[in-house]
Chains A and B, each alone.
Chain A
Amino acid sequence: MRVQSKKPDLAEGDLTPMIDMTFQLIAFFMVLINFAQTEANDRVVLPSSQLVKPPEVPLEFPIILHIARDGEIVLGSETYTVETLRVGLQREMSVVKAQGKSAEDASVVIRAHQDTAAGDVQEVIRVSQDQSLVNFALRVKEDNR
């Protein structure tokens, strides 16, 4: 005599399309993720310009200075004012020199907030000049309109 299985029939959905879609989404986000966003700073909204294009060749030794709306300067993970920025730049310059480069080889990338005072940017340039830095890059976002 044949004994029927007592197991109840569970209604199992077919998970294949969902897993397919999920893997596609993961692939999409993995391709688009940009680890270079470490250059960005949430406190800075860049002004825009129609003329700039992303550089084809990266700068040799960039020193990235973020200038927030209130004039506070972020270099690496530390914040400075115009008066104390000299200390941070001296530290950067010692790294430049340790790599056998000179101040001429370094570029100061200024990422200033669009509403910050222009005078604060000029002051940052002046302090950088005191450290013999001569190359400056005023970073703006590309405006395609």
Chain B
Amino acid sequence: MKIRNQRGNEKNELNMTSMIDIVFLLLVFFVMTFKVVELEGDFSVRMPLGESGGVPDPTDLGLKLRLRSDSEGHLAGMSLNDADLGTNFDELRARIVSQLGSSAPGEDDEGPEIEIDTDYNLRYENVIKSITAVSGYKDGNGVVKLIEKIKFAKPRR
């Protein structure tokens, strides 16, 4: 009696195990290294040596922002040219807008300059908030620019 070889009828299936192993390894790698990217931008400050806390230019508006901190580094108060503004950055922005209203920069002029004089232990976040307030504000989808030249006074130890 002849018994036929049944192997010829079997389906020829690929072994997927190793491919699935590698695919899962790749997946785990990408999941582990995945990080949500936060968009970042810069406030550009051009500050050559000698200009921080240097002799003020008599032709500019002479804007000087003083930031004071409490013992824990929180903002205790601020003043623009000795005018007290409390801790309200909107008030600061309004003052800047009113100051600039009568002195719009010319086309070739870079605009007024502001010097930021901050207490040493004030949290940096407050400095950025003040720079944001004096730099401009959002108007719909656009940005209205106010002061683009910013410099720092000498650090207060």
Interface residues of A (CB under 8 A from B): 1-3, 5, 15, 19, 22-23, 25-26, 29-30, 32-34, 37, 46-55, 67, 109, 112-123, 125-126, 129-130, 132, 134-142
Contact = CB atoms under 8 A, between A and B. Distances in A.
B52 A125 contact: yes
Interface of B: 1, 3-4, 6, 16, 19-20, 23-24, 26-27, 30-31, 33-35, 37-49, 52, 67, 73, 118-129, 131-132, 135-138, 143, 152, 154-157
B49 A132 contact: yes
B115 to A, nearest CB: 12
Contacts of A139: 40-42
Contacts of B48: 129, 134
- Interface of A, helix, strand, loop or mixed by DSSP: mixed
Chain B interface main SS type? mixed
Contacts of A118: 67, 118-124, 126-127
A63 to B, nearest CB: 13
Contacts of B27: 22, 25-26, 29
A53 B39 CA distance: 8
A145 B114 CA distance: 26
A81 B122 CA distance: 19
CB-CB nearest 10 A-B residue pairs: A52-B41, A119-B120, A29-B30, A137-B42, A122-B155, A114-B125, A142-B39, A47-B128, A129-B49, A47-B125
